[in-house]
Structure formats: C-alpha cells, structure tokens
Chain A
Amino acid sequence: DAGVTQSPTHLIKTRGQHVTLRCSPISGHKSVSWYQQVLGQGPQFIFQYYEKEERGRGNFPDRFSARQFPNYSSELNVNALLLGDSALYLCASSLTEGSNQPQHFGDGTRLSIL
C-alpha cells in the first residue's frame, strides 16, 4: 500500500507570493496533520483536520490555512510568503482523530523562499 504522498517535493518561491502544498493520506486514513520543520529544528504542529473539519491549530499566523477534501486529501496554503517560511513541510495521516492513533509521515515538501 502507498504511504503518505506529498507534492511537490521541492518548491522555490519569492517573498510575497503564495503557495499550495498537497497531501494524500494512506488509503482509509481520515485524519491529516501538517507540520513545519525549519532546518536544524524539530517539526512544529500547524493544523489537524478530520472529516473535513479543523480539529487543532498550532501557533501560526493567519497567513497559513488548510482544508481537507471529501477523499481526505488535504492542502496547506501559505499567503504573503516570508523568508522565514523556508522549511520542510510534513504531512501526517492517521486512521481516526483519536490521540492514541499512530501518525504516519510523508517525505515532505521542501519550500525555499528567495
């Protein structure tokens, strides 16, 4: 079975632009979470979605938004990009929303802001 897939794998943008990152969860998984990993740091939680509804939000500005589709795939949108948004963006999926469910991570999208 395919794991969590993210696209694109790499992306280069300039300051002020917006970006959309995509995630397809493992088949049958209904919960998707997004994390930002700045170089040399641990991942930071951005959002969790379950059944198309936001279930949790981390400490990120309103420039960050996300949504989940009926097929449980998800998009992360970032507007008005800043240099500090350069990072690896990770998507994780789990079967349900429960806190005891293991999360499976994709390989991430590496976003570079020039």
Chain B
Amino acid sequence: GDSVTQMEGPVTLSEEAFLTINCTYTATGYPSLFWYVQYPGEGLQLLLKATKADDKGSNKGFEATYRKETTSFHLEKGSVQVSDSAVYFCALRSNTGFQKLVFGTGTRLLVSP
C-alpha cells in the first residue's frame, strides 16, 4: 500500500540556518504530495502542495519539488525563524477518487535564537 517515510527528528537549528527535511514515498500511479505543519495544541495546517511531477510547491519561504524519479518531496527553507518551530508532516493522496491522506510520522523542528 501507499506509504510515506520522513527523516526522524528532532531537527535542531539556529535562527537563519538552512532547513531540509527529507521525505520519500511509495505509491501506485501519480499521487498528490503535501507538507502540513502542526503547532503545539493545534490541528494541521496545509503548508504547500504539488500535484504532478516536477511541480514546485511554495509558501512562507518553504518549498518542495515533486521528484518522481526519486519518489521524493523534500522540504526546504533558506533561513528558518524561531516561529517555524513545529512538527512537519509529509503526506500523499492517491488519485483514486476519495480523499484519504497518508501521512509520515512527522519531523519536529526546533529553532533556537
């Protein structure tokens, strides 16, 4: 079945450092790919998405490119802020007609001043 694998955390960075969180997936066909962010005590917020190969999703300085040849969707940001501290989830949704999202286990990001 479909699955998503993320790098384990926590990822600890200083403010203004470069961020990469790795995500790879296994799926049949051509899934849509997502990054969600979860702040403490809150639900999930959609950060960015890509629906086909070579698409680049971007939002709030974060970006990720849908790489079908490597089945990857790595999240990057050039300069992190303390306010970016949260848990980041990579997810896929297959194009089978209903809206099941398959999530990775999440990666906690801690940014210090």
Contacts and interface: CB of A to CB of B under 8 A. Distances in A.
Contact of A102 (B43, B49, B96, B104): B49
A56 B44 contact: no
B45 A48 contact: no
B102 A107 contact: no
A48 B43 contact: no
Contact of A48 (B4, B91, B100, B102): B100
A42 B103 contact: yes
A101 interface: yes
B42 interface: yes
Interface of A is mostly: loop
Contacts of B91: 42
Given A56-B99, A97-B98, A100-B32, A42 B104 contact: yes
Q: Please tell me the size bucket of the interface on A.
A: 20 to 34
A43 B99 contact: no
A43 B44 contact: yes
B101 A103 contact: yes
Contacts of B99: 31, 33, 48, 55-56, 94, 97-99, 101, 103
Given A41-B105, A99-B94, A100-B32, A56 B100 contact: yes
27 contacts: A4-B43, A33-B99, A41-B106, A42-B103, A42-B106, A43-B44, A43-B89, A48-B99, A48-B100, A55-B99, A56-B99, A56-B100, A90-B43, A90-B44, A92-B44, A94-B99, A97-B98, A99-B32, A99-B94, A99-B95, A99-B96, A100-B51, A101-B99, A105-B45, A106-B43, A107-B41, A108-B43
Interface of B: 4, 32, 36, 41-46, 49, 51, 89, 91, 93-106
